[in-house]
Chain A
Amino acid sequence: MASIEVNGKSYETDEEGYLINLADWTEEVGNYLAQTESVVMTEAHWEVINFLRDYYNEFQIAPAVRVLTKAIGKKLGPDKGTSQYLYELFPYGPAKQACKIAGLAKPTGCV
């Protein structure tokens, strides 16, 4: 099993670097995962990450991109509910990359 080390503590990940245990996640771990994805975290990034974590806690799944986009638009305003906005923040795919930083498993149906 692969693992990452953040502040001297080791966390299990799968081969693609997704956290195995959702409960392991901390903001520091999120920052570390963002670095591995070459994403520089801003407030706008955290807004999406926190949204994803809330969504996961409520529904126990990571949303599909289309669903994420729609839900973000509803919660954070229509200007943010576009795939363009989300891809600007997470160039390699909001679902895939943002989910990883948020400590979630890869979304169902996401290749």
Chain B
Amino acid sequence: MLHIVNKSPAERNALESCLRVAQDGGAILLIEDAVYAATRGNAAENHLRDAMSRFKVYALAPDLEARGMHERVMEGVTTVDYGGFVDLVAQHKNCQSWL
């Protein structure tokens, strides 16, 4: 299952709830303000690093670039463009958007 998160971890609990409920082996795609969670030095960094042993974590490059954060992506996070976003949706049986 693909989990899509679009809210900053500092503002909303969407990522936290996603990590709490999501089953091992799934994928997490961070888009819009959620890309801040995938950057070095953010308060949710360790949380996300722990999650990487259970999930594959992706972040949307255009959203990172727009926010000037593309140089600060944590190691282990795979960045994808819009085409990659579509591929991820197509590769998974179902997906859940954590609003």
Q: Do chains A and B touch in the complex (CB under 8 A)?
A: no
**Chain A contact residues, CB within 8 Å of chain B:** none
B interface residues, Cβ below 8 angstroms from A: none
